[in-house]
Amino acid sequence: MSADRLSLTLAALADPTRRAILARLAGGEASVKQLAAPFAISLPAVSRHLKVLEKAGLIAKGHKAQWRPCRLEAAPLQEVAGWIDGYRRFWDESFDRLDTYLQQLQQVKSDEKH
């Protein structure tokens, strides 16, 4: 995935409706009408969200069936998952190291007192 694509994918994930659509598609492919059913928004509005997701490479539309079902695209999601994991790991592991380092420092200090 190119660098620009990652920004595009992240921006597409910023919207809660689009994330709900992706969650629905994680359960299997669906038509636009099926995807629109749980939302209190119009069919064209759902189509606009789908366009953003498609442009970001997060979904694809089938060509075979008449109803052109939408499905999740795995690759960009995996990229985003890896990227998010990296950010989380930065802080988790930094704080792990801080914890260990603080224990070492305080151990030395208490040894000096004795």
> Which positions lie near another protein, rule CB under 8 A?
3-4, 6-14, 16, 19-20, 22-23, 26-27, 72, 74, 77-78, 80-81, 83-84, 87-103, 105-106
Nearer of residues 8 and 35 to another protein, judged by Cβ: 8
Q: Round the CA-based radius of gyration of the chain to a whole number and report it.
A: 22
Nearer of residues 4 and 112 to another protein, judged by Cβ: 4
Q: Classify the phi-psi angles of 34: left when phi > 0, otherwise alpha if psi is within -120 to 50, otherwise beta.
A: alpha
> Within 13 Å and on the Cβ side, how many CA atoms surround 29?
14
Sign of CA dihedral 40, 50, 9, 83: positive
Least distance in angstroms from the C-beta of 78 to another protein: 6
Nearer of residues 33 and 97 to another protein, judged by Cβ: 97
Nearer of residues 23 and 45 to another protein, judged by Cβ: 23
CA dihedral angle for residue 64, residue 2, residue 58, residue 28, rounded to 10 degrees: 70
Least distance in angstroms from the C-beta of 65 to another protein: 20
Least distance in angstroms from the C-beta of 27 to another protein: 7
